[in-house]
Amino acid sequence: MKFSWMFGLILLVQSHTANLPESLTIESEGKSIASITRVDYQMPFPGMSLIDLGKYNQFLVKLDRQTYIPPVNAYIDDAGKIISEQAGRKLHRKAFTDIFYTYFYQKGPARAEIPMLAIYPRVDRDLLAHIRVKQIGQYVTYFNPNNATRSHNIELAAEAIDNHVVFPGETFSFNRVVGKRTKEKGYMRAPVIVRGELSEDIGGGICQVSSTLFNAVDRAGVKVLERYSHSKKVPYVPPGRDATVSWYGPDFTFKNRYSYPLLIRAKAIHGQMVIRVFSSDEIDYEPRPVPEASKMLPEEVSTEREANTED
């Protein structure tokens, strides 16, 4: 009786293990994040075990996206304190491929900790501490803080360029850094804009940020590569001192021609759009004279009225 019970248990275990998939379980810090089997990546070729590289590469891309953690640059908070950088990580594709090939051409299931590569941010706290010392450019423009939607868009765009570092020889693109102005990013349609300003469906007010930036970096003596004026005069900057931007249209770009990185600090607060440009105290820069902006609040109009005027 005892022997038949043990024999039955052995048959049950063998039956259970025989039906287990011979999978490769991929783990991250001891937790399972994916599981794959040989048969899913095997090409139908008689007499040989060949890997379907198309399927495998698709899985590799998916796994990379699933496990990717972007690095975070160091930055200066509103209190002036430097917040340290954080390293990111990405899939070590070569190391994982070695693991997969070993599993594929052997028998039985396998488990493996996913191999990752560290990604270090471009801006660390030591760099920020070095380039926050000397102010080489600054500009202030003024807006109506009671215009809630336009003010909100200005604040978002200012946050997008704040703490941005432009390295020597590097080109800054306003559209690339700020990104597309969408509802998903929090940008709003501004029913009331400044007279003469480009009327966009989403993101009204952005051009005041790009214009303020233009004047700040121009004072710092950078090389302006691309700048376009509005078709009509805008009142928040002196004539000819604006920089219109649009995601599907004009951009504002400049190049850092100095030997040290440039740090952009931007803040929209209490109806003022303030941009300052900093660098190392060792920088030898060539400032340019730039006229100040008027402190009078610019005239505002509805977007419908402005559109009818332009037609």
State whether 150 and 250 are in the same domain.
yes
Q: What pLDDT was estimated at residue 302? A: 65
- Domain boundary at 119, 135, 154, which? 119
Query: Is 1 contained in some domain?
Result: no
State whether 289 and 140 are in the same domain.
yes
In the chain, the percentage of residues whose pLDDT exceeds 90 is 73
Query: Model confidence over 121-165: pLDDT tens digits?
Result: 999 999 999 999 999 999 999 999 998 999 999 999 999 999 999
Surface-to-core class of residue 16, CB atoms within 10 Å of its CB (0-12 exposed, 13-18 middle, 19+ buried): exposed
Q: How far apart are CA 122 and CA 141, in angstroms?
A: 30
User: Beta partners for 171?
Assistant: 255
pLDDT of 41 higher than 60: yes
Mean pLDDT of the chain: 87
State whether 201 and 114 are in the same domain.
no
- Domain boundary at 85, 119, 153, which? 119
Q: What pLDDT was estimated at residue 232? A: 83
Query: Model confidence over 276-305: pLDDT tens digits?
Result: 999 999 999 999 999 999 988 766 766 544
User: Given pLDDT bands bounded at 50, 70 and 90, which one contains residue 274?
Assistant: very high
**Range(s) of the domain holding residue 196:** 125-310
Q: Are 65 and 56 spatial neighbours (Cβ–Cβ below 8 Å)? A: no
Provide DSSP, 152-187: HHHHHHHHHHTTEEE-TTPEEEHHHHH----TTTT-
Query: Model confidence over 217-241: pLDDT tens digits?
Result: 999 999 999 999 988 888 899 999 9
State whether 162 and 246 are in the same domain.
yes
State whether 96 and 173 are in the same domain.
no
State whether 195 and 57 are in the same domain.
no
